[in-house]
Amino acid sequence: MQLYNKLSAQERAEMLEAAGTERLTLSFYQYAHIGNPQLFRDHLFVSWDPLEVLGRIYVAHEGINAQLSVPAPLFDKFKAHLDSISFLEGVRLNIAIEQDLKSFLKLTIKVRDKIVADGLDDDQFDVTQKGIHVNAQKFNELLDNDNTICVDMRNHYESEIGHFKGAVTPDVDTFRESLPIIEEDLADHKEDKNLVMYCTGGIRCEKASAYFKHKGFKNVYQLEGGIIEYARQVKNQVLENKFVGKNFVFDERRGERISEDIIAQCHQCGAPCDSHVNCINEACHLLFIQCDSCAEKMNECCSDACKEIVALPEEAQKALRKGTHNSNKIFKKGRSKVLKFKQ
């Protein structure tokens, strides 16, 4: 029985184009005790593959974190399967604001130690003692309160293209780095300020809010459903939108526009731009912001060196890549020395 994806991204993209079926991009998470994550992972793959579900899903003993897309005509069947799983029945689904046929090109379900790499020892505090969940209207009210400190729990490359007005945006590469920095910076306000947190879909705030309450913060709030749900409520309820720019998303779209503001710059020339791309050189694949002009000038590369490599025949490029390995340890997202404007 097939328990893994067999098609390449190119093959899948061609199939999606040919089918032309509308797809829904969505995400959800749930903390729950999963006794056998590998068995649960296999069950999900066997159940979702026939439904043509595509996406990136992490399963661990502590729960599930999923970003995926599903054919719109099969959504009800997909939802029925979720509801058949006791701890996922009625789980909140964050439906994307902007839909894209090719937001995901593979079904990848992985077993991990944790569904979010937070670096925390969960035995040291009660992860169920979370902050108060607030909707978009209440979140706006809290932002208007002078007694509130709003903190972005995302990484630098996410907040760079969009964030809430007045939010603290830690200049960090990973979620785990932000926790001690925020605790130290706000140490004098554990009792006299409202600590209000937000992230993309809410999952990072679930753990972070419990962590900060454990550390002595008295008034802890989190935006329920994250930026994705906030944008939906603002639109449906005609509320003031306090988010400026784009919401970074972890699929092929790389961003959803929440407001028309462009608050970032091209990392190569400094022109106003908030479009993330990956360097076309497969031996690099650095994530950075590039405007259309620089994309044409640099042949979609991050540097002259990469531009020279992609001009080589494919076989020569493969030979150069042999034995090398890409990872965030080598290429920090948007932090490379070749990005002159970013420096």
Domains of the chain with bracketed CATH: 9-111 (3.30.70.100), 122-237 (3.40.250.10), 264-343 (no CATH)
Q: What is the pLDDT of residue 93?
A: 95
- Between CA 61 and CA 67 the distance in angstroms is 18
pLDDT greater than 90 at residue 280: yes
Ranges 118-122, 129-133, 204-208: which has the least confidence: 118-122
Quickly tell me which residue has 């002009």 as its tokens: 293
pTM: 0.86
Confidence of residue 327 (pLDDT cuts 50, 70, 90): low
Give the catalytic positions in this structure. 199
Q: What is the pLDDT of residue 183?
A: 92
SS3 category, 272: strand
**How many of the other CB atoms lie within 10 Å of CB of 343?**
9
Task: Give the mean pLDDT of 79-106.
Answer: 91
Residues 302, 282 contacting (CB under 8 angstroms): no
Cα–Cα distance measured from residue 157 to residue 63, given in angstroms and rounded to the nearest whole number: 26
Instruction: Determine the Cα–Cα distance for residues 66 and 26; give it in Å rounded to an integer.
Output: 8
pLDDT recorded at residue 96: 87
The residue-averaged pLDDT of 287-314 equals 95
pLDDT of residue 128: 78
Neighbour count for residue 332 (Cβ, 10 Å): 15
* Alpha-carbon span 23 to 69, nearest angstrom: 6
- State the pLDDT confidence band at 14, using cuts at 50, 70 and 90: confident
How confident is the model at residue 316, as a pLDDT? 85
Residue 343 banded pLDDT, cuts 50, 70, 90: low
* pLDDT at residue number 4: 67
CA dist 34 and 279 (Å) reads 38
Mean pLDDT value across the chain? 91
The strand pairing partners of 287, in sequence order, are 278
Q: Which of the two residues, 110 and 17, has the higher pLDDT score?
A: 110
Would you state the pLDDT for residue 325?
Answer: 64
